[in-house]
């Protein structure tokens, strides 16, 4: 990338130690990162609305574009943006605005590792004393971070898709268990009803036996007593068998209830993990939207509309790869990794791509080696991924 020299700084004082530039005088490479990273969508919408822009139906990309179209020269929008950013980062400016370049670069490195670069991006852009090499170093970190975020977002989408499929299977299994539980509960209720009837019958027969025994004592007849005893024994055997059946069903129901409890607990953990992945994915996508959404009028247009080539990967997730890249303003290309047709087709795709992603676990050794050689030949950045996920 050709280096661009710093523009002359305004003579306004910042904390009495250095001159800072207004936003319309900052280096053109930093305009897009400053607008995208240093201002939230709500902040940007509020500022544009105060300047008379109708923001109600504007999408995030359109809000970003509107700001970028006005930030290159002094006007009411750029003045509002400049005042707001100076007020927003007043504390950070007092801390990092006066330190020398070596200490500022060290602070940048620490904050980059912690993911807290927003204030330092703006301070680097408006400081008039930083060398061009320092600015290009910071800009390069921001530029490459956008590629890393694309890869991270792809991986998060894959994890999210797998989690959704797992949740769907668990939901189906829960439906089956619940249906079985309802069936067993109904059978248990029937058995309880039958047992109550048998117990009533048993009590009735017991009373009749006592009456019969009493009557036979007077008359001296013994045959009916034997018959009643035999019938009573049969009924008692039936009752015992029903009681054993009820016990078996109770044990089975208890086992199913324990299994159901475990499934519910597992499903709850999966839902929590899904929620965490969804939040992480949304955060990454929001960061990508700030870093990458520009149009042809944006001075940092070379950051956007990148052609991303994925070689191999999980074929059924191709739609997810395409959606992620194209929603962020990129151009998606895909090669299945098979080399049966030779290297010419793959080489043509590599030549016209800006970045190449190649998961090694979904490609042959020959395919991985060919991709790497082609990228070296045409000087294209390549990211060899340990797995498609």
Model pLDDT for residues 38-74, shown as the tens digit of each residue: 999 899 999 999 999 998 889 999 989 988 999 999 9
Q: Which position has the higher pLDDT, 281 or 245?
A: 245
Same fold, 155-292 and 305-385: no
Alpha-carbon gap, residue 291 to 145, rounded angstroms: 9
Predicted local distance difference test score (pLDDT) of residue 230: 87
Alpha-carbon gap, residue 26 to 28, rounded angstroms: 6
Q: Where are the alpha helices (DSSP H) in the chain?
A: 28-38, 41-50, 60-70, 76-88, 90-96, 101-114, 118-126, 132-219, 223-292, 318-327, 344-351, 365-377
What contacts 115, CB < 8 A, 6 or more positions away? Answer: none
The whole-angstrom distance between residue 387's C-alpha and the CA centroid of its chain comes to 18
Q: Which residues pair with 311 in a beta bridge?
A: 335
Residue 52: both structure tokens together: 């008379």
Residue 259: both structure tokens together: 């299994």
**The listed CATH number (3.40.50.720, 1.10.540.10, 3.30.390.30, 3.30.70.2390) that belongs to domain 305-385:** 3.40.50.720
Q: What is the pLDDT of residues 86-125, one digit of tens each?
A: 999 999 999 998 899 999 999 999 989 988 888 998 998 8
pTM: 0.40
Judge whether residue 237 has pLDDT over 60: yes
Pairing of strands 331-335, 355-359: unpaired
Judge whether residue 15 has pLDDT over 90: no
Q: Which residues pair with 334 in a beta bridge?
A: 310
Q: Quickly name the fold that domain 155-292 has.
A: Helix Hairpins (1.10.287)
Cβ atoms of 359 and 155 within 8 Å: the answer is no
Judge whether residue 153 has pLDDT over 70: no
Domain ranges of the chain: 13-130, 155-292, 305-385
Residue 272: both structure tokens together: 């929590």
Judge whether residue 374 has pLDDT over 80: yes
Alpha-carbon gap, residue 294 to 353, rounded angstroms: 19
- State the DSSP code for 356: E
The average pLDDT across 337-356 equals: 85
Q: What is the pLDDT of residues 186-230, one digit of tens each?
A: 889 998 888 888 888 888 888 887 776 666 554 455 556 677 778
Q: What is the pLDDT of residues 247-297, one digit of tens each?
A: 998 999 999 999 988 888 888 876 775 565 456 545 544 554 444 455 555
Q: Which residues of 4-16 are buried (b: 16+ CB within 10 A; e: fewer)?
A: eebeebeeeebee
Place of tokens 């191709």: 318
């Amino acid at each position: 990338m050709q280096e661009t020299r710093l523009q002359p700084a305004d003579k306004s004082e910042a904390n009495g130690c250095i001159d800072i530039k207004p936003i319309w005088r900052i280096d053109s490479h930093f305009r897009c990162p400053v607008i995208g990273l240093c201002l939230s969508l709500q902040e940007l919408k509020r500022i544009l609305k105060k300047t008379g822009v109708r923001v109600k139906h504007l999408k995030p990309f359109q809000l970003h574009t509107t700001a970028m179209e006005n930030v290159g020269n002094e006007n009411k929008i750029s003045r509002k943006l400049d005042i707001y950013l100076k007020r927003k980062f007043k504390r950070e400016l007092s801390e990092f605005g006066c330190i020398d370049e070596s200490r500022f670069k060290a602070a940048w490195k620490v904050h980059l590792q912690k993911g807290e670069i927003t204030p330092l991006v703006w301070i680097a852009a408006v400081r008039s004393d930083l060398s061009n090499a320092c600015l290009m170093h910071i800009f390069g970190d921001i530029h490459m971070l956008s590629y890393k975020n694309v890869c991270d977002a792809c991986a998060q989408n894959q994890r999210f898709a797998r989690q959704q499929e797992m949740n769907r299977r668990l939901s189906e299994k829960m439906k089956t268990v619940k249906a079985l539980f309802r069936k067993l509960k109904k059978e248990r209720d029937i058995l309880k009803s039958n047992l109550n009837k048998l117990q009533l019958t048993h009590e009735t027969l017991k009373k009749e036996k006592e009456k019969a025994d009493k009557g036979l004592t007077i008359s001296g007849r013994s045959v009916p007593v034997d018959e009643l005893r035999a019938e009573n024994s049969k009924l008692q055997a039936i009752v015992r068998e029903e009681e054993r059946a009820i016990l078996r069903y109770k044990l089975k129901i208890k086992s199913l209830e324990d299994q159901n409890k475990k499934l519910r607990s597992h499903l709850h953990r999966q839902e929590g993990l899904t929620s965490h992945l969804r939040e992480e994915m949304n955060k990454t996508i929001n960061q990508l939207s700030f870093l990458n959404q520009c149009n042809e009028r944006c001075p940092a247009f070379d950051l956007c509309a990148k052609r991303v080539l994925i070689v191999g990967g999980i074929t059924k997730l191709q739609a997810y790869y395409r959606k992620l890249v194209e929603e962020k303003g990129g151009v998606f290309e895909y090669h299945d990794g098979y080399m049966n047709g030779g290297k010419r087709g793959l080489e043509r795709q590599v030549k016209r791509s800006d970045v190449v992603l190649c998961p090694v676990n979904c490609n042959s050794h020959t395919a991985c080696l060919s991709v790497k050689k082609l990228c070296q030949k045409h000087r294209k950045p390549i990211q060899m991924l340990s797995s498609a996920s």
